[in-house]
Amino acid sequence: MQVQGFIIHLDRATARRPQAQRLAAISPCPTEILPAIDGRAMDPVALEAAYSATPLLAPPYPFRIGAGEIACFLSHRKVWTEIMARNLDAALVLEDDVDLGPEFPAAFALSCRHIDSLGYIQFQTRPLPAGRTLASEGSVSLIRPAVLPLRTSAQLVSRAAAERLLALTERFDRPIDTFLQMTWHSGIPFACASPSGVSDLTEALGGTVAQVKAQRAAITELKRSLERAAYRSRIRALAALSKWNKNEK
Select the more confidently predicted residue: 79 or 229. 79
Select from 207, 202, 206, 208 the least CA-distant residue to 99: 202
N- to C-terminal Cα separation, the chain: 33
- Domains for the chain: give ranges and CATH numbers: 3-246 (3.90.550)
Over the chain, what is the mean pLDDT?
Answer: 91
pLDDT of residue 205: 65
Check whether 170 has a pLDDT greater than 60: yes
β-pair partners for 51: 172
Give the C-alpha separation, 75 to 36, whole Å. 5
Select from 42, 116, 100 the least CA-distant residue to 75: 42
The DSSP element (H or E) to which 100 belongs, if any, is strand 98-100
pLDDT of residue 216: 47
Give the C-alpha separation, 106 to 205, whole Å. 26
Q: Residue 40: count other Cβ atoms within 10 Å of its Cβ.
A: 10
Give the C-alpha separation, 240 to 232, whole Å. 12
pLDDT of residue 88: 98
- Contact at 8 Å (CB) between 192 and 177? no
pLDDT of residue 208: 57
Check whether 207 has a pLDDT greater than 70: no
Once rounded to an integer, what is the mean pLDDT over residues 161-186? 96
